[in-house]
Amino acid sequence: MSLSLFPPNPAYGNGIYRRVVRLRRLNDHAVVGAMDDDYHAMWCRLDHDGSVVTRIDGGFSRGN
């Protein structure tokens, strides 16, 4: 898909847009990342054995 299919947003650069990214260590073999902004809320969990990712899970808490 080409980005040319999406017209420019005339309001881009005006106003306030909020985004936060959080990374949290659950234990010695798991981390969770979460990203929330004005339109989305999503998360991803990575489990590992110290050198290799052994499991990935993720989802949306909110989305448009």
Tell me whether residue 35 is in a domain. Answer: yes
- How far is Cα 55 from Cα 6, in angstroms, rounded to an integer? 35
Return the pLDDT at 14. Answer: 83
| Structural domain includes residue 10 | no
Question: In this predicted structure, what is the pLDDT of residue 59?
Answer: 95
Average pLDDT for consecutive 10-residue bins of the chain (64 residues)?
Answer: 73 84 96 91 96 96 66
Structure token pair of residue 38: 């004005």
Number of domains in the chain: 1
pLDDT value of position 13: 80
**In this predicted structure, what is the pLDDT of residue 22?**
96
Range of the domain at 30: 19-62
For residue 3, the model assigns a pLDDT of 66
